[in-house]
Amino acid sequence: MNCIDTHAHVFSTQDPSIQTARYAPNYDATVQSFISHLDQYQFTHGILVQPSFLGTNNQAMLNAIQQYPDRLKGIAVVQHTATFDELFQLKQQGIIGVRLNLFGLNPPALNTAEWQNFLRHLESLNWQVELHAPPRYLVQLLPQLSEYNFNVVIDHFGRIDPIKGIDDPDYLKFLSLLNVKQHWIKVSGFYRLGATPNSINTAQQAYNIFKEKGFLHKLIWGSDWPHTQHESYVTYEDAIHAFKQIVFDKHEQCLILNQNPTELFGFSRT
């Protein structure tokens, strides 16, 4: 059976960070290290996600996929002015979607002609759009993205505000906008929701809400390795242990680690 980690990053200190980076690591996260974690915990496949500090230079991720093309696929960050041919070249190199990482940025104007053209390119490529954004942005973007025929993947439980919690009006509105036909949610990055153990409790609350809303077959897990900005106290093993605390039912674990991501990311069923 497949077992898929749907969210990890690779980079090195040799990769130039963008000038506007809010954070840049001072260590290497190599594809060999990631693969060793996958092997240690019996994961068959992984999804690499472009980190914000590398901007639109996806080369480190592309190099990693090239080394393990049967096990890895990627989610890129690109300019919304990218041509169809440029995007198609990325698809040929193992890219299956784009990420909009909007922390520290203004939300994009998706109703402009340039953005509409870009989003239609993504439709044509059968790519997904991954959103890493605070709830106040998600409630603006989800209705606009509902006009397009592609999967929308929402990072890290929808990034619940650590102070406001699940009762944040923006988060409650986000929950009301969820559409099981289009949206997928990553039950990942629990430590980004506040201080442990409160973050695990918050994640459990959100997980139970997703289940109640009929999203059990639209949930996926990612380690978020190497846990950027939290690497000093979070390990791969910690991420797996937290997942099993949040999702303690074995059948539900299997859905989230195997069946759901196999469908979303197009891996062959084994």
Q: What CA–CA distance (Å, rounded) separates 107 from 105? A: 6
270 within some domain: no
65 CB neighbour count, 10 Å cutoff? 21
How far, rounded to the nearest angstrom, does the alpha carbon of residue 235 sit from its chain's CA centroid?
18
Using one digit for the tens of pLDDT, what is the confidence trace for 103-124?
988 999 999 999 999 999 999 9
**Domains contained in the chain, number:** 1
How much of the chain, in percent, has pLDDT values that exceed 90? 93
The predicted model gives 77-84 an average pLDDT of 98
* Domain with 53 in it: 4-265
The predicted model gives 250-257 an average pLDDT of 98
What rounded mean pLDDT belongs to the chain? 96
In CATH, what number is assigned to the domain containing residue 10?
3.20.20.140
Residue 62 has pLDDT above 70, yes or no: yes
Residue 270 has pLDDT above 90, yes or no: no
The predicted model gives 243-268 an average pLDDT of 96
* CA-closest candidate to residue 221, choices 265, 173, 164: 265
Residue 251 has pLDDT above 90, yes or no: yes
